[in-house]
């Protein structure tokens, strides 16, 4: 009987590519949900189980995998996340049930770094409001903000943070970072100062979040930490929506406590159309697209497919399995 894999990310829906070729060459039947929006997490529990039940592996998008759902999916062996975040998956329960959870750490960092810099430029150079006003017949000559010679504080110096740091340095920005696990060699080579979160928030002109979503990082940016930021500073979040308390951010933006924010991620995704942040002119919103460009999508899909196919052969994709404690006992 052939093995079956379900591919849920919308951008991969019924799209050819190296990932499909790899699956088929390894004897997998490649399938997709009937509804392209399945991955948005809007289906009922019973409907999700019905969709997922037939499959040995899932190349997974944003849909959730809580404990009770995992219990209802005895055939599922691998959840290969399309990206580096895995907060929608109950990893401890996957480990208990001997289901491997993988990520694609080698594929997204450059794309997210590019988006981060793009959002910084969009705010500093007033690209969106000036486009709108010029189309409406206005001719705004309000002086813009510089990016060069400004200080960017990176909260998190993993692959994405490092990729952002390199780009910021090349643009003439000063870079500081907060990360207790930062690579000392990289920090020294790039001349980056490691500081406390408090000092980073107090000093930075641009605060860019690149931390994972963990219990200890939930609402990392809140009423108290926002008070530490400079009045003309900008918050950039291309990491996870749960890092920022949106209610507190709304107050900070409307009161002039900080100048602006650019958000690629939200507490609720998709966010409600009546999210009050969308009414603010000093907010740029993006639909969780930072890691999705043509190159990164192809690379993530292939990397995730490699994880599934290797595990199906009882080979271990080093550095890509979140619950690595399964290594010694793994058997497809």
Which DSSP category does 223 fall into?
Answer: H
Nearest to 82 by CA among 98, 62, 112, 99: 62
Answer yes or no: are the C-beta atoms of 4 and 23 closer than 8 Å.
no
Strands (E), the chain: 3-7, 28-31, 57-60, 78-81, 100-102, 151-155, 174-178, 193-194, 206-209, 234-237, 260-263, 283-285
In the set 81, 109, 162, 288, the catalytic residue is 288
Helix or strand or coil: residue 278?
A: helix
Based on the residue annotation, tell me whether 288 is a catalytic residue of this protein: yes
Which helix (H) or strand (E) element contains residue 314?
none
> CA–CA separation, 107 vs 102, rounded Å?
13
The catalytic position among 240, 267, 302, 306 is 240
Which residue from 144, 143, 122, 145 is spatially nearest to 261, judged by alpha carbons? 122
Q: Is 240 a catalytic residue?
A: yes
- Give the whole-angstrom CA distance, residue 160 versus residue 110: 7
- Of 29, 193, 199, 269, the catalytic one is 269
Supply the residues annotated as catalytic: 240, 269, 288
């Amino acid at each position: 009987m052939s093995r079956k894999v379900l591919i849920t990310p919308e951008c991969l829906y019924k799209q050819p590519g190296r990932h499909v070729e790899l699956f088929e060459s390894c004897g997998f039947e490649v399938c997709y949900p009937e509804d392209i929006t399945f991955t948005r997490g809007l289906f009922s529990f019973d409907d999700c189980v019905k969709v997922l039940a037939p499959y040995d592996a899932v190349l997974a998008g944003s849909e959730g995998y809580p404990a009770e759902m995992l219990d209802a999916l005895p055939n599922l062996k691998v959840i290969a996340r399309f990206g580096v975040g895995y907060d929608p998956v109950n990893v401890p329960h996957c480990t208990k049930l001997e289901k491997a959870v993988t990520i694609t750490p080698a594929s997204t960092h450059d794309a997210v770094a590019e988006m981060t810099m793009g959002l910084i430029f969009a705010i500093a150079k007033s690209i969106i409001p000036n486009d709108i006003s010029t189309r409406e017949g206005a001719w705004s000559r309000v002086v813009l903000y510089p990016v060069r010679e400004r200080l960017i504080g990176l909260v998190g110096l993993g692959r994405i943070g490092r990729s952002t740091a390199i780009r910021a340095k090349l643009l003439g920005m000063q870079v500081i970072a907060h990360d207790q696990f930062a690579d000392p060699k990289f920090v020294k080579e790039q001349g980056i100062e490691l500081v406390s979160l408090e000092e980073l928030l107090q000093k930075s002109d641009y605060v860019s979040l690149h931390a994972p979503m963990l219990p200890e990082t939930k609402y990392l940016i809140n009423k108290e930490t926002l008070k530490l930021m400079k009045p003309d500073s900008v918050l950039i979040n291309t990491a996870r929506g749960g890092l920022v308390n949106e209610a507190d951010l709304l107050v900070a933006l409307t009161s002039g406590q900080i100048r602006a924010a650019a958000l690629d991620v939200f507490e609720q995704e998709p966010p409600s159309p009546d999210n009050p942040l969308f009414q603010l002119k000093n907010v740029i919103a993006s639909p969780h697209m930072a890691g999705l460009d043509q190159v990164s999508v192809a690379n993530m899909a292939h990397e995730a497919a490699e994880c599934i196919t290797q595990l199906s052969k009882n080979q271990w994709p080093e550095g890509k399995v979140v619950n690595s404690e399964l290594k010694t006992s793994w058997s497809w």
